[in-house]
Amino acid sequence: MKPTFIRFSNTHGFTLWGTLAILLVLGIAGTYLGKVLYFSIKARNRVEAKTSVIDNESTLAELIATKMKEMQENFVPLVPGSTFCSLNAGDFKTSFNTNSPVFPAPSVALKIETDRAAEPTLKQFDAWLAAPLPGVQQDTKNALNTCSNLTTPSVNTTADLGVYMFCVALDNTNVEPQKSKSFLYSEGAFVQVRAELTHQSLSQDEKVLKQAPLCADWLGRPTNQKQLKITYRIFWKERGNSQGFYSYLGSKLLNLPELRNF
């Protein structure tokens, strides 16, 4: 009885090796297309997230500026001779968080947070970013590290320089969840804020290229000249997406007399 040999071929001329080669090419192509699709989705998500900020960033800056305006106008000296410029970090935080500003529709309260170990938003971000990935996650972690360093004119290195730096957390825990990449409907959000006291008498070059005026000089100006330059970087995490971290940088120059009442 003669041995039987199996020949791997078919009537169309395809061998086993040809089939394997085709499968290898398809596998490489599939991997490539998968990566393209992955990065395409990530890019689209970033665009959607940043587009969602545009409708709300002006209100965010105005809320912060309006609260600072109210704090300055309603300042009551605890020590004879003290002024709004004399507020230390603790008093500034307490004053801001007393009847803190609320974002309208949806109702989201803004509060300064400085304690990563105890205050809810910073604590949550600290847990999320225990092992941050390079990119937005690492940037968010770095920003989080600065939130405890609330700066007011009374503690600036240049005496009474009219600059405030602090972090504002968005309390959106009671907002009804929506399929949205907006920071207002996120699982958590905070804002790095730099607020500079400035006024209309300064040229645009002076406002951009030079340091802010002294706080005392700003206080002495007529109200119709006073301005606040609010520079902000918003950090937020998309609800239900462990990798959905986003950030957005912006700046607004606001005239105090034109600020809305919320």
- Cβ burial of 45 (10 Å; 0-12, 13-18, 19+) is middle
pLDDT for 2:
56
Task: Specify whether 139 is located in the same domain as 200.
Answer: yes
Q: Are residues 113 and 177 in the same domain?
A: yes
Q: What is the DSSP string of 165-211?
A: EEEEEEE-TTSPP-S---GGGSSEEEEEEEEEEEETTS-HHHHHHSP
150 and 69 within one domain: yes
Domain span including residue 157: 56-258
Do 45 and 115 belong together in one domain?
A: no
> CA triplet 161, 218, 80: central angle to 5 degrees?
85
Evaluate whether residue 3 is within a structural domain. no
**Which pLDDT value is given to residue 41?**
42
Each residue's pLDDT expressed in tens, for the chain with a length of 262 residues = 555 544 544 555 557 777 777 777 777 766 655 554 434 444 455 555 565 677 799 999 999 999 999 999 998 887 777 888 888 999 999 999 999 999 988 899 999 999 999 999 999 999 999 999 999 999 999 999 999 999 998 765 555 788 999 999 999 888 888 778 899 999 999 999 999 998 887 766 665 656 677 888 899 899 899 999 999 999 999 998 999 999 999 999 999 999 988 7
Tokens matching residue 197: 């006291």
Q: CA nearest 239: which of 193, 156, 169, 172? A: 172
* Statement to judge: residues 140 and 158 lie in one domain: yes
Q: Are residues 25 and 151 in the same domain?
A: no
Same domain, 178 and 155: yes
Let me know whether 29 and 89 are in one domain. no
Total count of domains within the chain: 2
Asked if residue 42 is part of any domain, the answer here is: yes
Q: Which two tokens stand for residue 106?
A: 């949806």
Task: Clarify whether residues 38 and 131 are in a common domain.
Answer: no
pLDDT of residue 117: 92
Residue 46 maps to a domain: yes
Same domain, 44 and 78: no
30 in the same domain as 67 = no
Q: Which residue type does 245 have?
A: F
* 69 and 29 within one domain: no
